[in-house]
Amino acid sequence: MPKILPGETDIYAITDPNYSLGRPLEEVVRALLSAGVRIVQYREKKLKAGAMLEECRLLRRLTREADACFIVDDYVDLAILAEADGVHVGQEDLPVPEVRSLVGPDMLIGLSTHKPEQAQAARGLGADYIGVGPIYATHTKEDVVDPVGLQYLDWVHSNIDLPLVAIGGIKEHNIADVARHGARCCCLITDLVGAPDIPAKVAALRKAMRAGQ
Ligand code: 3NM
């Protein structure tokens, strides 16, 4: 198990080359880790498998050096080959029990959830944490559902006995509200990897989260 788990740390960063201001993946991830981010998820939709594996191995090395948790989005095979700490799947990806049979007992499995039934089912399926979102509207994900909102986040926080990470449209100006409604861990793409000064952004996000708690 990684030393740090989703839900135990404030910022969960997700990579996305489309929003990284043209900077190389390595530069972005080094900046995140140097700012103290402890969870990094590799999310890539366009590259071929061989290139993705190389990037995953690079991120595995960097996160290991920084004692950070490394999670791969969607691709169970890449997560296994790169010795990631976890894999994150959506409702329409491979079902969690099948993923578990592939990755074994020790790898973390995160499951995206968007409604009560999905959140309630997650533990029984064997997920280790759930994504709750999109909290706000976002254009970052293509097949995204309508925003679930803060009241729904409150409900999940009070009713679901699994670590949760809030995701979707979370930015410096609204992250205090998300923290106030029960999220101890927030996932961000655009407002984080798209920041010109990533360490300054991490510091500002943390300060805002603390203000909301
Ligand atoms: N998953 P941004 S929302 C990858 O609701 C992803 O499960 C979501 O990007 C979900 O921080 C989302 O730029 C996109 O809004 C998050």
Residue 82 lies in a domain: yes
Ligand 1 within 6 A of 167 CB? yes
Tokens representing residue 104 in the block: 């074994």
| Inside any domain, residue 2 | no
Could you read off the pLDDT of 61-110 as tens digits, one per residue? 999 999 999 999 999 999 999 999 999 999 999 999 999 999 999 999 99
Atom of ligand 1 nearest to the CA of 145: 5
Q: 20 lies in a domain? A: yes
HSE-CB of 166 using CA atoms within 13 angstroms: 32
Decide if 115 is catalytic: no
Establish if 155 belongs to a structural domain: yes
**Is the separation of the CB atoms in 53 and 81 below 8 Å?**
yes
Give the per-residue pLDDT at 1. Answer: 63
Domain assignment present for residue 86? The answer is yes
pLDDT tens-digit readout, 121-170: 999 999 999 999 999 999 998 888 999 999 999 999 999 999 999 999 99
Our answer on whether the CB atom of 2 is closer than 6 Å to any ligand 1 atom is no
Q: Is 46 among the catalytic positions?
A: no
Q: Tell me: is residue 85 an annotated ligand-binding position.
A: no
User: Within a domain: residue 5?
Assistant: no
Residue 78 tokens read as 């890449």
The number of folded domains in the chain is: 1
CA of 135 relative to ligand 1 center, distance in Å: 9
CATH of the domain at 199: 3.20.20.70
Q: How far apart are CA 96 and CA 191, in angstroms?
A: 29
What does pTM read for this prediction?
A: 0.97
Nearest-Å Rg of the Cα atoms of the chain is 16
Task: Specify the ligand 1 atom closest to the Cα of 148.
Answer: 5
Any ligand 1 atom below 6 A from CB of 141? yes
Reference 132, options 179, 175, 85, 187; nearest CA is 187
Q: For residue 76, what are the domain limits?
A: 11-211
∠ CA 77-93-97, rounded to 5°: 75
